[in-house]
Chain A
Amino acid sequence: MTDKRKDAAWTSTSRRRFLQSAAWTAGAVATGVGSWIIRPDWANAAAEPIKVGIATDLTGAIGYAGNANANVAKMLIKDLNAGGGLLGRPLELYIEDTASNESVAVPNVRKLIQRDKVDVVLGGITSSMRNAIKDTIVKRGKTLYIYPQLYEGQECETDIFCTGPTPAQQCDTFIPWLMKNGGKRFALPSANYVWPHLLNAYARRVIEASGGEVVFEEYYPLDQVEYSATVNKIITEKVDVVFNTVIPPGVGPFFKQLYEAGFGKRGGRLSCVYYDENTLNINAPYEMEGLASCLDYFRAVDKDDPVSARIQAEYEKEFPGKVLFAAGSAATGMYRGIMLWAAAVNEAKSVDRAAVAAALDHAKIAEGPGGPAEMVPGKRHCKMKMYTAVAKNGNYEIVEQSQGLVDPKEC
């Protein structure tokens, strides 16, 4: 991966300039009315457009991920339109900023539903955001909702489809690998919200079933930046594997303090299932040497998979810069979500919610980042290939991959 961080001309491009520099926005129409609306050049009055709504964190703490999946949406809608749209109709993209702030998000999502009247909404990254906006979309808005990010599972509401990895996909093979390449004593330092709580419950089951033990499981406020007590406990209790679910802003200082205490040097293994290429930028490379992650896609997969390489290249051409196409940032889930939905629309030959939902239930795509993907009928979750990777010198190297598509085991 070209390390853009080392560019001599690495100046902090403001987001505005960055987006403006994307060449193809010549075709984009950003109206003065709030959301980004992008219409294809060939949109004509006769064919009524299909409206796709994206509600994601363009600003705020989760902005690095939100921008990645907004970019993916733009890229894919442009591709679909270049191919003639869906059902002969052009696709219009409406993007609203949820700003990593639930009380700002809900009114903005309401705009998507009530003012723009979109046919589908994709988005939400953190579970708290999903929980805040799902009612507005599904219950009050009676619109289909596709959630693209890795999460804790147990979202079984009808009309909500999840295209990101679930705990089963992230833990079932990963934890045994960690035990072989780390040790039996696990620590679970976590951020205090729903995703870590439920993920840890699942992880604990797998750890104990594989013969390991959980030394401690603790929850910290999201903005805690002092982890001395935790780091000390990890060292003194001789923890082998840290299965981390602390998120920004705490994760950077935590990893730094862990490194300074010599955890890695003593043979400890750091692991974090949401860490991708975007989050690798948070710390210096030497502080994250050996960090293991398990996701549905890594840049390193491109070496062996031409489809992934093509997708990655297309993204980088259209969106050069610091917002990377990475699996922990909902970008791959967004890709799958849009393409699976497109396949469902083509099968149902309409955008009516019930028809599309019925088709989406068993939709498949043959080409996606990391490999093909298919929805599990009746479960509204997605099978995909999973990869285990280790950070070496600021880049990920794949150390293990699943044989075929892994079952999400949800609902």
Chain B
Amino acid sequence: MDDTVVAALSTAEPAAIPRAKTTAGRRPVLPIIELSLLVIFAVLPLFLADYLTVFFTRVLILSVLAISFDLVWGYAGILSFGQALFYGTAAYSVALMARDLGITEIFIVLPAALLIGLVLSYLIACFLLLGRRQPSVIFVALGTLTGAYAADRLARGWYYLGGQNGIPSIPPMTLGSYTFDEGPVYYYFAFATLIVVYVGCRFLVRSQFGLALAGIREQEARISFFGYRVQLIKTIIFSLAGSIAGLAGGLYAFHEGFVWPNMLGVIVSTQVVLYTLFGGVGTLIGAVIGVIGIEVLSYILADNYQEIWPIILGALLLTVILLRPSGLVSLVVPERERIGNFEPRRRRRAVGH
């Protein structure tokens, strides 16, 4: 009889199980994407002319900036339109250091950029995020947007900062007597920076801290009742993102050789948001893919359709936002692999757990 029962049970289950594949069984897609991008970027300069290498260096630096935004929004749920504020301020600061104090030594300017981003974002976080009442998402968005806009106006009006013109002719970054000129050298340096930042963030978000972040994003009240110090966590992540944005700013300033008020303002801020949205929020690699996608598209479109490419870009973004709000990455990466997505599995296929 046991055999019949077992036989009956075993015939009952197969109807359900063959379709089911638990995550344990499925190969994770994200690492594949990450590794392939790593390899592609590592060998890219070998195939490209110098001016294209320079273009991709810019892409790498912007990726660092985009990651900073993904960190706060994709993982912590803070919609910060102000990443450009930290990016631009750090860029201006290192430009001023180079222009007025003659400091271009890499081990001073890059940590300085990091620090400036950190301090500024900490101050902004204290004002916007903390307080007895939980600030609404709109308020944070608007507050950071206003901060970026105000900084833009200030830089535009202040002659010491170059006003409308910004600060041109920034001398290149140096390491002792060696100068970092644009080209493959700077490319690999930016690439290394991106890897370090990326790996660091990845470890952070897959840790316990990352889980707490996800909790804040989904249900802040509940998490705080569990005893997590929500304010502290938010401040930490915001400051961290701010420092990363500052680092990107420092790299950019020395690469392009000039800084100007637009770097601080609304346009770059929104651009960063769009990069991340386009690529996919909540997966660090999505931010990178978004930057690559938009920048390469812009380059190609600007070449061939000089007049209408901004319209095409806008239309493309609108399409992505309407049809695929999870971004490009969600086309290949299943919903479950996006870190921080802890929704219950909708269709329970496995029977009798």
The distance in angstroms between the C-alpha atoms of A132 and B51, with both chains bound, is 17
B164 at the interface (CB under 8 A from A): yes
The stretch from A176-184, A192-200, A285-293 touching chain B is: A192-200
CB distance from A140 to the nearest CB of B (A): 7
- Pick the residue among A97, A115, A127, A191 that contacts B51 (CB under 8 A): A115
Inter-chain contact A103/B260, CB cutoff 8 Å? yes
Inter-chain contact A131/B165, CB cutoff 8 Å? yes
**Chain B residues near A114 (CB-CB < 8 A):** 49-51, 54
A111 at the interface (CB under 8 A from B): yes
Q: Residues on B close to A: CB < 8 A?
A: 49-51, 54-55, 58, 153, 156-157, 159, 162-166, 168-169, 181-182, 256-258, 260, 262-263, 302-304, 306-307
Inter-chain contact A32/B307, CB cutoff 8 Å? no
- Pick the residue among A33, A59, A131, A192 that contacts B168 (CB under 8 A): A131
A-B contact count (CB 8 A): 85
Inter-chain contact A194/B55, CB cutoff 8 Å? no
Q: Which of A97, A132, A134 has the most CB of B within 10 A?
A: A132
Q: Residues on A close to B: CB < 8 A?
A: 15-16, 32-34, 58-59, 97, 101-104, 106-107, 110-111, 113-115, 127-128, 131-132, 134-136, 140, 191-194, 197, 219, 221-222
| A136 and chain B: residue at smallest CB distance | B257
CB distance from B217 to the nearest CB of A (A): 32
CB distance from B181 to the nearest CB of A (A): 7
Inter-chain contact A222/B58, CB cutoff 8 Å? no
29 residue pairs of the A-B complex, CB under 8 angstroms, read A16-B307, A33-B303, A34-B304, A34-B306, A58-B306, A59-B307, A101-B262, A102-B166, A102-B258, A104-B302, A107-B54, A107-B58, A127-B165, A131-B165, A132-B166, A132-B168, A134-B168, A134-B169, A140-B182, A191-B164, A192-B157, A192-B159, A192-B164, A193-B165, A194-B163, A194-B165, A197-B163, A221-B156, A222-B156
- Pick the residue among B162, B303, B306 that contacts A194 (CB under 8 A): B162
- Pick the residue among A33, A115, A140, A192 that contacts B163 (CB under 8 A): A192
**Chain A residues near B258 (CB-CB < 8 A):** 102, 106, 131-132, 135
CB distance from B13 to the nearest CB of A (A): 60
**Chain B residues near A107 (CB-CB < 8 A):** 54-55, 58
- Pick the residue among B169, B256, B303 that contacts A103 (CB under 8 A): B256
**Chain A residues near B181 (CB-CB < 8 A):** 140
**Chain B residues near A191 (CB-CB < 8 A):** 164
Q: A34-B306, A192-B156 are in contact. List 5 more A-B contacts (CB 8 A).
A: A113-B51, A115-B49, A128-B166, A131-B165, A197-B159
CB distance from B179 to the nearest CB of A (A): 11
